Structure 1
Amino acid sequence: MKNDIDTYLEDNQQSRFEKEEAYLRAKKKVDKIVGFYWHFAIYIVVNIFLIVMIYSKSGEPFWSFAVWSTPLFWGIGVGFHFLGVFGTDYLFGKDWEQRKIERYMNKEKDNRRWE
Structure 2
Amino acid sequence: MEPNYTQAERYYQAQKRVKEIRGFYEHLTVYVLCNPIVIVVNYMVSPGYLWYIWSVMGWGIAIILHGLKAFNLPPFFNKKWEERKIREILEKEKTQRLESHGN
The TM-score bracket by the shorter chain reads 0.5 to 0.7
The one of 59, 72, 77 aligned to 1:74: 59
Deviating above 2 A after TM superposition, structure 1's stretches of 4 or more consecutive aligned residues are none
Structure 1: which 5+ residue stretches go unaligned?
1-16, 90-115
Assess if the C-alpha contact under 8 Å between 1:36 and 1:81 holds in 2.
Answer: yes
More helix by share: 1
Distance 1:70 1:34 in 2: 23
In structure 2, the partner of 1:13 is none
Tell me how far 1:48 sits from its aligned partner: 1.1
In structure 2, the partner of 1:107 is none
Structure 2: which 5+ residue stretches go unaligned?
75-103
In structure 2, the partner of 1:35 is 23
Larger Rg belongs to: 1
In structure 2, the partner of 1:94 is none
Query: Structure 1, residues 82-115: CA drift from partner, whole Å, max 9, x if none?
Result: 11111338xxxxxxxxxxxxxxxxxxxxxxxxxx
Distance 2:65 2:24 in 1: 10
User: Percent identical across equivalent pairs?
Assistant: 31
Kindly indicate whether residue 73 of structure 2 is the aligned counterpart of residue 88 of structure 1: yes
Q: Which amino acid aligns with 2:44?
A: S
The one of 35, 45, 67 aligned to 2:33: 45
